[in-house]
Structure 1
Amino acid sequence: MEIQAAVAREKGGDFSIETLEIEAPQAGEILVQVVATGVCHTDLAVRDGHLPTPLPVVLGHEGAGIVSRVGAGVTKVAPGDHVVMTFNFCGHCPSCEDNAPSYCYEFFPRNFFATRPDGSTALSNEAGSIHANFFGQSSFATYAICHERNIVKVSDKAPLKLLGPLACGVQTGAGAVMNALKVGAGKSFAVFGTGSVGLSAIMAAKVAHAKTIIAIDTNDQRLDIARELGASHTINPEKTDTRDAIMATLEHGVDFALDTTGIPAVIRTAVESLAPRGTCGILGASGPDAEIVLNETHLMSAGRKLVGIVEGDSCPDSFIPHLIDLYLQGKFPFDKLVTFYPFAQINNAVRDSATGTTIKPVVLMDHGTQP
């Protein structure tokens, strides 16, 4: 079948909208008519060559759509189901068997190598194969092949075009608070960086009834949005010392901190802002060789912790529907982060994401009326 897809052909270059052929789903695979896909900074990092995903490739890993066809053996979903496509995992390693798929032992090859495990790809044109299967989906396209493991059936009561960001960015921020850090009622929480991940964390901390929620960012407009979404305090590090401001609010520091920037110096500040027995979670790194320097005595002597978090410690089959339920109840308004773009304007969406003009761009596929 012919589809339209945004192909990354050159390091740092624009995506080109091309006509490609997509294969029928193999055993365990699902063909999804993509309704909308979120644009994530991971897509941009891959396009820019910061990760070893081969080019040319169709990226996109926050896809939402409608099941079109299923391959042999698929029982989880059926044609017509509304679905979100999330990260891929093997299903049989020790982490997967412990219901911790975001720490799958094969997470990197399953999500970044852009082929099936046998090296094949579902996309091609007259010149040959195009790398696909990025995060088990490659959803910068009108149709995508995903897998029974990484597809999540969702309620048709929620607007499908809105749900893609739950697959990665929103799930990561909210899950870090709810699943990994387990921020509880009455506790204090600080998030460093208020992009879509950080703002999702703030909404989750509000749902968790955290007493003090502090947002730290150099963008005052983002800090205004953070207050609207639940932050009780905001700090601009360009105007005041972050640690001093936190200690002025909370004498002994915060119970929980979350870094979304991946910048080592910011992570150090986050750890230094912790109260005794406090925990700091980190969601990314500024590069493969980035190192974090901490004061050993400060970390050890009061039982402070630093923990890495991937995809919000989420089990997507249960967590994504939970976030949708919270949204439908008016408790998790992640729609306030989203700006929609036609698929043909994907490069504008990417540029607006890179510059911070848009918090969470979502590209809409042209299939007529969108659910």
Structure 2
Amino acid sequence: MQITAAVARSQGADLSLETIDIEEPRDNEILVKVVATGVCHTDIVVRDGMLPTPMPVVLGHEGAGIVEKVGRGISKVKEGDKVVMTFNSCGHCPSCQDHHISYCHEFFPRNFFATRADGTSALSKGSETVHGNFFGQSSFATHAICHEVNVVKVPDSAPLELMGPLACGIQTGAGAVMNALKVSAGKSFAVFGSGSVGLSAIMAAKVVGATTIIAVDMNDERLAMARELGATHTINPGKADATAEIMAITGHGLNFALDTTGISSVIRNAVMALAPMGTCGILGASAMGTEIHLDEVHFMSGGRRLMGIVEGESNPDTFIPMLAELYAQGRFPFDKLVNFYDFADINQAIHDSENGKAIKPIVRMQ
């Protein structure tokens, strides 16, 4: 079967819209007709060669669509179901068995190596192999093959073209608050970095009842959006000392902080702003080998905690439908983050994400 896909062929270059071939789904695979796909920072990082994903490759890992075919071994979904495709996992390692699938022992190869577990790809162009299975989907295409472990059925009433970002970026920010940090009613929370992940964290903090919600970002437009979505305070660290401002707002420091930037100095500031027994989560990607420097006495003597978070520590089968329901109730308005683009304009969507013009681009297939 021939499909249209956006192919990454060289580091840092625009994606190339091409007609390529996709295999029939194997017994343990699902073919999805893609309706729309979110553009995530991770797609851009991989396009730029910062992770060892082979090229040529079809990226995309926030896909939403309709099940077109299922393999003989599939029972979770059927043809015609509306679905979101999320991150991939092995399903059998100790983490997966303990229902901590975002910490799958094979998370990196299953999501970034862009092949099936046996090293093959379902995508090709003539005699050329095109790497696929990126995050178990490669959804920058009109069709994608995914797996039972990373497909999530959503209600028929869900606006499918909007649902894709729940699979990664939105899930990551909201899940960091709700699942990993477990922010609770009456607590204080600050997010450092107000992109789609940080703004999703703010919405989640409002849902769980945090009473002091602080957004820290250099972009005043993003800070205005943060206030619209639930932030009680905003700080531009280019205009004021963020740690000092947080201490003045809270009186004793934060119960919870979340860094989305991956910048070592920002992480240090977030930890310095913690109250005794406070916890800081980190989820921003940075270059391999990046080190974090902390004040050991401050960190140890206050019983403060620093934790890494992947994909919001979510169980997508339950968490994505929950976020969809919160959206339907008007309590999680992540549509305010979205700009839509035609698939033909995918490179413009990526450029707008890079320069901050778009918070969460979604490309719609025609």
Fold-level similarity (TM above 0.5): yes
Q: CA deviation at 1:284?
A: 2.2
Q: Which residue of 1 aligns with 2:161?
A: 161
TM-score, L = length of structure 2: 1.00
Shift in Å, 1:72: 1.6
Count residues in correspondence. 366
SS of 1:50's equivalent in the other structure is: coil
Give the structure 1 partner of residue 247 of structure 2: 247
Q: Which residue of 2 aligns with 1:273?
A: 273
Q: 2: distance between equivalents of 1:246 and 1:295?
A: 18
The alignment partner of 2:149 has SS state of: coil
Unpaired runs of 5+ residues, structure 2, are none
Measured after TM superposition, the shift of residue 157 of structure 1 is 1.1
Q: Deviations over 1:39-98 (max 9, x none)?
A: 001000000000000000000000000000001210000000000000000000000000
Once residues 53 and 125 of structure 2 are traced to their aligned partners in structure 1, the CA distance between those partners, rounded to angstroms, is 19
Offset of residue 313 of structure 1: 0.3
Supply the distance in 1 between the matched residues of 2:346 and 2:26 (Cα, whole angstroms): 29
The residue number in structure 2 matching 1:191 is 191
Extract unaligned runs of 5+ from structure 1. 367-371
Q: Look up the equivalent residue of 1:252 and give its one-letter code.
A: H
Query: Residue 147 of structure 1 aligns with which residue?
Result: 147
The residue aligned with 1:116 is 116
Q: Cα offset for 1:128?
A: 1.5
1:65 alignment partner AA:
G
Alignment of 1:67-78 (within 5 A): 67-78=67-78
Equivalent position SS for 1:149: helix
Q: CA RMSD in A?
A: 0.5
SS of residue matched to 1:227: helix
| Aligned sequence identity (%) | 70
User: Residue 91 of structure 1 corresponds to which residue in structure 2?
Assistant: 91
Q: Once the two structures are superposed, what CA deviation does each residue of 1:283-341 show, in whole Å capped at 9, x if it has no partner?
A: 02321110000011111111100000000000000000000010000000000001000
**One-letter amino acid matched to 2:342:** P
Whichever residue aligns with residue 118 of structure 2, its letter is: D
For 2:344, the aligned partner's letter is A
Match of 2:333 in 1: 333
1:257 aligns with 2:257: yes
Amino acid in the other structure paired with 1:351 = H
Tell me the distance in 1 between the aligned counterparts of 2:281 and 2:357: 26
What amino acid maps onto 1:244 in structure 2?
A
Shift of 1:276: 0.6
Deviation at 1:126, TM superposition (A): 1.3
Deviations 1:238-297 (A, max 9, x none): 000000100110111010000000000000000000001000000023211100000111
Deviation at 1:129, TM superposition (A): 1.1
Runs of 4+ in 1 over 4 A off after TM superposition: none
Partner residue of 2:134?
134
Give the Cα–Cα distance (whole angstroms) in 2 for the partners of residues 259 and 343 of structure 1.
31
For 1:15 and 1:278, the matched residues in 2 are separated by 43
Letter of the structure 2 residue corresponding to residue 243 of structure 1: T
Letter in 2 for 1:169: G
